[in-house]
Structure 1
Amino acid sequence: MACPRCHAQATALKAKERWALVGNPNTGKSSLVNALAEADLQVGNWPGTTLERLSAALDLAGAEVELVDLPGTYSLLPTSPEEALVARELLASPPDRLLLVLGAGNLERSLVLALEAMELALPTAAVVNLLDEAEAKGLEVDLAALEEALGLPVAGAVAARGRVAGVLEKALEARVPAPPVRYPGPLEEALGRLEGLAPSRGAALLALLGETASLPQALVRAAEEARARLLAEGHDPYLLALEGRYARAQEIYREAVRRKSAPSSLTERLDRLVLHPLLGLPFFLLALFLAFRFTFALSTPWVDLVGLVQEVLAGWLAALPLPALLRAFLAEGLVAGVGTVLSFTPVLFLLYLALAFLETSGFLARMAFVADRLMRWAGLPGKAFIPLVLGFGCNVPAVYATQALAHPLDRLRVALAIPFLACGARLPVFTLFAFAFFPQNAPLAVLGLYLLGLGVGLATALLLGRVLGAGPGEGAMELPPYRFPPWRLLLRLSLARTASFVRGAGGPILVAVLLVWILMNLPLGGTTPYAFLAQALTPLFAPLGVGDWRLVGALIPGFVAKEVVVGALGVSFLGPEGVGPLGLAEGLRTLAQGLGTALLGTLQGLAALFGPPSLLPPHEPTPLQAALTGALAPKGALAYLVFVLLYTPCAATLAALRAVVGRRWAGLAVAYQLLVAYLLAFAASRSLP
């Protein structure tokens, strides 16, 4: 159906286009990208930031279209790094088409952002997503009436269920909309004087409201003078803009939405249980435990399989007619180092899968709400829990996410607390030692480390708040309705994030492992430089129960990246022993048997998922784990894990801290982290007999 008020001509499709999806948080933009593209998602970082960039390629009528999911935002006037990124992308590098993703269950709020984005004069279409949630609330959205009111092509969708028919057709009808809002007189007069200097009415309004990035300097200077005149006359341009947009959004909402019945109370009934003052925290801990239980129960057989592949590859390389030094480097250096790290890819994938489910189902936001009381204990706002949760994935974007906190002291305290959180790079070390020294309680051991890191981080924020005299935190958060996310989206997100992690870690791992192997094989007075440095530091770790220089040496490249610790241990413990040659047929038989064992172990893991820990499928120690158990007692292993958890996470996190809190605070953070790591590791070594 043609758009009645769309008087402008539809924008012709070019051979190569970039479409940007803009909308509030929790409107299903990622699900829409996944449903439209039906292709592998690409996860990376936006240039110059550590914010996640989600995109997908689409072949449409012979044209190459890139669908880009911009971060969720409530306004184009930035108050956080995510909103600043959205504004920069739309102003500095405008997309070929703009898809406004509106949440049907909260349509009036979505319309406020849509009206603002329409003023940028970009070819635009709208998608009303989550129509099923609106229906559950007893609401009916009249898409034809909404299209008439907005003057834009409008499609309806339930992207999580794959119901996206008509969305691409409407996107192809995208056109530059007419100005959708008539503002109060004083603001309209100021805009009239600025529009000749601006690329669009929306850019002029943003300049008038104080935005300066990605805008012409002549416009910025004129806008400053106009804003000063308005304020002198008693008119706040920000309030006038909000008044105009909210009034128009309410008009459109009344025209396009009808209430059919009383809203369903399913979310309210569940929230009475999940958000209960006494039951909420146990549910929160249970959710984390099940996430780790799921990760370990299903990843164990595949970790063993990847380790078996590593052994076979090393055996095949050892059989090649190559110079002895090159053969040793390939079999003992690259395969034993990088291959050991890659063997934990199943663990990372399943952990990302569990976290993606918690995030997209709406439970993660409720975990933050439940943790609000814990945040208040540390004097932080409840929404500070969001960057802390991000820290469990990677400390670097979590540190940058603190810029969304309004108060500078809140940003400082949370940024210095985040490095204590167990990021994904530390997980391979945890799993390696947990299965080697605590095989029957591996999930509980890793969960304990995660909780310890969170506790130390919050205690750090509390201590710093007392020292600096910080007041109680303030803030608000949104609780989206419960949703059952599509497994296809969860799988694609997990695969993309795991691949992104491996690609990002590959460089530091390769450099560090090569350096470790060279230092271990470079003669230096009867020893090697690596062994000399590690042995010099070993007496410092003897009180912790760690007396093997190879364990201490692995901590040195860990300053570059924590995932390198496992690779360094693999080279240190397995490299000098050498690898025996293996025939092609024998290796293939070994791999086939290993695949069958992995499939059987997966079925056993599914059966044991909700059983006691003793029902977990048996874990065969890898050669590295066997070597570690011969070099370390359980109490020393626990101390080592605590030290790895708490000492300086990586060079990238230090760079992020320096950018957010400054060089001085970043330097103090390193010294503080080393001190805390040593003291708590010493205490851990005394906690076991």
Structure 2
Amino acid sequence: MGCPDCEGGAATATQVEGARIVTVGNPNTGKTTLINALAGSDLKVGNWPGTTVERLEAALRLPQGEVRLVDLPGAYGLAPTTPEEALTAQELLRNPPDLVVNVVDAGNLERNLHLTLELAELGLPMVVALNLMDEAAAKGYTLDPAALERELGVPVVPLVASRGEGTEALLQALAHAAVPRLQVRYPDALERAAHELARRLDHPASRWLALALLAGEEVPLELDEEALALARGLRAELERAGIDPFLEIENARYTRAHELAQGTLVGAQPRLTLTDRVDRWVLHPLLGGPIFLLGMLLAFRFTFLFSTPWVDFIGTLQEVLAGWIQHLPLPPLALSFLADGLVGGVGTVISFAPVLFFLYLALAFLETSGFLARAAFIADRMMLLAGLPGRAFIPLILGFGCNVPAVYATRILTSRIDRLRVALAVPFMSCSARLVVFTLFAAVFFPKQAALVVFALYVLGMAVGILSAWVLGRLAGQPPSTGLMELPPYRLPTLRVVIKQAWARTRSFLEGAGGPILLAVLFVWLLLNLPPGDLEHSLYARAAGWLAPLFAPLGIVDWRLLGALIPGFVAKEVVVGTLAVSYLGAEPTAALGFLQGLGQILATLWASLLTTLGAVPALVGFPQLAPPSPDAPTALQAALGAALGPAAALAYMVYVLLYTPCVATVAAIKNEFGRAWALVAVVYELIVAWALAWGVYRLALAWLGG
């Protein structure tokens, strides 16, 4: 739409190369999805409030030049009552953008338009993106975007960002962005006070600032003391006249938002939506918990069924490459470095990329469909037992992917002590890097119950994390926290979005793990070969042996297992690679002919394809809890099976689960809460990991035997 009725200071963001356009809207209105649709970027897309907790940016090239699209966190208002709202207000007020795209949920107009009216008072050029038109139609709503456009005096573009519908019209509307002509009318006394105060403020958003100061809100700007004193005096005068500025401002905005929504809504035939019908079961007080656990168990089962054949394929590829290397005219030490160090270490970790991809694929589907948002609601009662609001469950769920962004995601909580408690609980969530270790050990020692064992480890980590948050809350004397949660409607994600998100996360894992893995493997290989040819008495074996007395009560005395825990402190991705180097480095790799190796690769590829196709009915039919283990275990699996028993293996898995996840997580805690709390986290995790691993070992001895 060209907005022919727009008046006032029309502005165009697309006329100047390098212009900055920000998307602002309530949580879960599709701001990030819209930017991805416009710019083709890979910003994270979720389906819960608080998906974006920091400023994200993407580039968009238009015929008029390149512009920057900035995705701000979801906010219900500009008063900084939450970290998301504070960041949004800072971006808009401290460094006003060239243009604002206000993303509005078409199915929740009245609530969303409250923020629209606030944005109108900033005096910035604006376009309204009326998103989620399909969901509004599903609710039985018929909207007239032109009516809203006439009232606001800015372009209003209906669209469905997830399908790319309306995005071209939105790009065209940017050239007609205008400063909204609509302003909320407040009581006369309040209007006069706001006008007097606004004249004293030298800022484009002086009207909004004046109203915020009169309402007693904090503003993210440094204002001179005279202006603040004037605001206090005017507010006191209003209160003496029986006027509560805050209540009057909010009442006027909500009243006007209601009028605008009613004028835009030309027809309504409320229907029972799919979300309503599904939530009768998913949010049931008795059935909700089991349904959530079943969903997560299916996610792990999906991961095992579909990743196993491709793990086997990459393992075969790795063995063939190592065999081909033996034909190179290089000294024995160089051949050992290439075959045992690089291929045997880094290659082993890369072989678990299918596990991570299919896990991320399942989590991306659960996220974007809205299921995980329900998990936070279902977990509200459990979180309340720990004295935390239900939305604290969201960072914990994110921790299953990676602990680092999960620590930063604690910003969605308003209380600092709640943020600290959840941040100290996050490292106990089993991240994707630890899944690599669990998959290997479960396949060796518990092949028929692999999915259940891994699932139990995830549950144990969550239980320890929540208990830790409860203990810290009790020690701090923190009263139970509560809060409101918004549940988004269920949305069937597109296959493209799910695959794109899963691949981006897998690629991020591989790229981020590459440096630590390479350094750790090179260091371990060097220690293993000093002195050359004497693995049992190498420097690595001696260093790992120093840990033996500490881990003997856990049944773990093999120096190779203990040594892998040391570089694992840097990154858990390194553990499996280190085990491969230390166990297989002493065994010379057999040379392999080119045609012989190529035949093995093609045969394994065909078998992997057939196994993947067979996993589809197996997932639906649920005939077993895990895919059958391969008849011939890999060399590393065989070595581990001979090194320790099931009880000690379980203790090792529990220790890996609970001890410090990686230095990046420690750095995240340090950045958010300081060096002292980062040190406390490391010490606490080491103590808890050893204590619980010992307890599990004793129980497993009685149940499983040695």
Q: CA deviation at 1:225?
A: 2.8
Find 2:636's aligned residue among 618, 624, 636. 624
**Counterpart code for 2:3:** C
Per the alignment, residue 279 of structure 2 pairs with 271
Q: CA deviation at 1:642?
A: 0.4
Per the alignment, residue 406 of structure 2 pairs with 398
Per the alignment, residue 160 of structure 2 pairs with 158
CA gap 1:387/1:221 in 2 versus in 1, 3 angstroms = farther
SS in structure 1 of the partner of residue 493 of structure 2: coil
In structure 2, C-alpha distance between the alignment counterparts of 1:53 and 1:294, rounded to whole Å: 34
Kindly indicate whether residue 198 of structure 2 is the aligned counterpart of residue 192 of structure 1: yes
Greater shift in the superposed pair: 515-524 or 630-639: 515-524
Kindly indicate whether residue 139 of structure 2 is the aligned counterpart of residue 141 of structure 1: no
CA gap 1:199/1:53 in 2 versus in 1, 3 angstroms = closer
Per-residue deviation, residues 401-442 of structure 1 (Å, max 9, x unmatched): 334323343333222222211122211111111122212211
Contact 1:227 1:237 in 2 (8 A): no
Per-residue deviation, residues 373-416 of structure 1 (Å, max 9, x unmatched): 11122222222212221222222222233343233433332222
Kindly indicate whether residue 425 of structure 2 is the aligned counterpart of residue 417 of structure 1: yes
SS in structure 2 of the partner of residue 100 of structure 1: strand
Contact 1:41 1:55 in 2 (8 A): no
Q: CA deviation at 1:241?
A: 4.4
Contact 2:448 2:626 in 1 (8 A): no
Greater shift in the superposed pair: 513-522 or 492-501: 513-522
Please list, as runs of the form range in 1=range in 2, the aligned pairs for 1:10-409 lying within 5 A after superposition: 10-11=11-12, 12-37=14-39, 39=40, 41=42, 58-61=60-63, 63-92=65-94, 94-164=96-166, 166-178=169-181, 180-183=183-186, 184-185=190-191, 188-197=194-203, 201-202=207-208, 211=218, 213=220, 215=221, 217=222, 219=223, 221=225, 223-233=227-237, 234=239, 238-239=246-247, 241-409=249-417
Greater shift in the superposed pair: 375-384 or 532-541: 375-384
Please list, as runs of the form range in 1=range in 2, the aligned pairs for 1:527-606 lying within 5 A after superposition: 527-606=537-616
CA gap 1:181/1:576 in 2 versus in 1, 3 angstroms = farther
SS in structure 1 of the partner of residue 544 of structure 2: helix
Per the alignment, residue 679 of structure 1 pairs with 691
In structure 2, C-alpha distance between the alignment counterparts of 1:312 and 1:429, rounded to whole Å: 23
SS in structure 2 of the partner of residue 608 of structure 1: helix
Kindly indicate whether residue 656 of structure 2 is the aligned counterpart of residue 644 of structure 1: yes
Greater shift in the superposed pair: 551-560 or 130-139: 130-139
TM-score (norm 1): 0.91
CA gap 1:19/1:543 in 2 versus in 1, 3 angstroms = same
Contact 2:433 2:572 in 1 (8 A): yes
SS in structure 1 of the partner of residue 272 of structure 2: coil
Contact 2:361 2:499 in 1 (8 A): yes
Find 1:438's aligned residue among 443, 446, 457. 446
SS in structure 2 of the partner of residue 196 of structure 1: coil
CA gap 1:600/1:108 in 2 versus in 1, 3 angstroms = same
**Counterpart code for 1:41:** D
Per the alignment, residue 457 of structure 1 pairs with 465
**Counterpart code for 1:126:** V
In structure 2, C-alpha distance between the alignment counterparts of 1:682 and 1:118, rounded to whole Å: 61
**Counterpart code for 1:442:** A
In structure 1, C-alpha distance between the alignment counterparts of 2:196 and 2:432, rounded to whole Å: 51
Contact 1:137 1:264 in 2 (8 A): yes
In structure 1, C-alpha distance between the alignment counterparts of 2:473 and 2:569, rounded to whole Å: 27
In structure 2, C-alpha distance between the alignment counterparts of 1:615 and 1:401, rounded to whole Å: 33
In structure 2, C-alpha distance between the alignment counterparts of 1:206 and 1:338, rounded to whole Å: 56
CA gap 1:363/1:615 in 2 versus in 1, 3 angstroms = closer
SS in structure 2 of the partner of residue 334 of structure 1: helix
Greater shift in the superposed pair: 516-525 or 4-13: 516-525
Contact 2:52 2:73 in 1 (8 A): no
**Counterpart code for 2:232:** A
TM-score (norm 2): 0.89
**Counterpart code for 2:253:** R
Greater shift in the superposed pair: 527-536 or 93-102: 93-102
SS in structure 2 of the partner of residue 577 of structure 1: coil
Per the alignment, residue 3 of structure 2 pairs with 3
Kindly indicate whether residue 623 of structure 2 is the aligned counterpart of residue 612 of structure 1: yes
Q: CA deviation at 1:579?
A: 3.1
User: Number of paired residues?
Assistant: 681
Contact 1:207 1:220 in 2 (8 A): no
In structure 1, C-alpha distance between the alignment counterparts of 2:136 and 2:633, rounded to whole Å: 52
Q: CA deviation at 1:615?
A: 7.0
Q: CA deviation at 1:448?
A: 0.4
In structure 2, C-alpha distance between the alignment counterparts of 1:518 and 1:157, rounded to whole Å: 59
SS in structure 2 of the partner of residue 163 of structure 1: coil
Taking only aligned residues, the RMSD between alpha carbons, in angstroms, comes to 2.9
In structure 2, C-alpha distance between the alignment counterparts of 1:119 and 1:314, rounded to whole Å: 67
In structure 1, C-alpha distance between the alignment counterparts of 2:206 and 2:532, rounded to whole Å: 68
Contact 1:40 1:492 in 2 (8 A): no
Greater shift in the superposed pair: 24-33 or 431-440: 24-33
Q: CA deviation at 1:555?
A: 0.7
Greater shift in the superposed pair: 252-261 or 324-333: 324-333
Structure 1 residues not aligned, in runs of 5+? none
CA gap 1:230/1:204 in 2 versus in 1, 3 angstroms = closer
**Counterpart code for 1:378:** A
Q: CA deviation at 1:285?
A: 0.6
In structure 1, C-alpha distance between the alignment counterparts of 2:24 and 2:656, rounded to whole Å: 40
Contact 1:43 1:497 in 2 (8 A): no
Contact 1:43 1:52 in 2 (8 A): no
Per the alignment, residue 520 of structure 1 pairs with 528
Greater shift in the superposed pair: 186-195 or 412-421: 186-195
Per-residue deviation, residues 523-546 of structure 1 (Å, max 9, x unmatched): 399733322221110222122121
Q: CA deviation at 1:162?
A: 3.6
CA gap 1:353/1:238 in 2 versus in 1, 3 angstroms = farther
CA gap 1:408/1:321 in 2 versus in 1, 3 angstroms = same
Per the alignment, residue 48 of structure 2 pairs with none
**Counterpart code for 1:645:** L
Greater shift in the superposed pair: 502-511 or 600-609: 502-511
CA gap 1:71/1:197 in 2 versus in 1, 3 angstroms = closer
**Counterpart code for 2:539:** P
CA gap 1:528/1:286 in 2 versus in 1, 3 angstroms = same
CA gap 1:182/1:684 in 2 versus in 1, 3 angstroms = same
Q: CA deviation at 1:595?
A: 2.2
Contact 1:187 1:237 in 2 (8 A): no
In structure 2, C-alpha distance between the alignment counterparts of 1:510 and 1:81, rounded to whole Å: 38
Q: CA deviation at 1:50?
A: 11
**Counterpart code for 1:196:** D
In structure 1, C-alpha distance between the alignment counterparts of 2:224 and 2:304, rounded to whole Å: 55
CA gap 1:117/1:465 in 2 versus in 1, 3 angstroms = same
